[in-house]
Amino acid sequence: ATLAPLSADTRVCDYTGDVVRGASHSSSYLLTYVEHAVAAPLAVRTAVDATDRGGVARFINHSCDPNLRVVAFRERLDQVPALSLVTRRAVAANEHLSFHYGGDQDILTADLYAQHHSATPCRCGSANCSGFLPMHTSSH
């Protein structure tokens, strides 16, 4: 939970850890983010494993109605971006912080989400809970 109120679009923390190369990595604390650029034919994939060297972001829970989203920040185009958790909306003091483990749910259709959920029950308690946690795939 946050101790103070936060306004929308506030950078809360970075998802830190070891940058992972290759597609066959499995971890409970793996965050994979894919940037899609309109002008570029290829997507840029960044994967961070917070198991051994992660920060507080790895302890933020999933919600089907989150108040945080993952945003990639980079100083230069040739750098690995910082994967930051940013508020989606204003967040009240003492409100539990959460993000959607399957990526930006604003762009996930019901059909796409149904194809990529796991068998692990979701216990987020939100009114629009999908019932299952997202399956980790190679993209967010």
pLDDT category of residue 79 using cuts at 50, 70 and 90 = confident
> pLDDT at position 107, please?
45
**Contact present, 33 and 46 (Cβ < 8 Å):** yes
User: Is the per-residue pLDDT at 138 higher than 70?
Assistant: no
**Beta-carbon contacts of residue 140 (< 8 Å; ≥ 6 apart):** 31, 32, 33, 34, 70, 102, 103, 104
What integer pLDDT is reported at residue 24 of this predicted model?
63
Please say whether the beta carbons of 29 and 17 come within 8 A: yes
Query: Residues 16-58: pLDDT tens digits?
Result: 999 988 666 677 888 888 887 766 667 778 889 999 999 999 9
CA 34, distance to chain mean position in Å, is 11
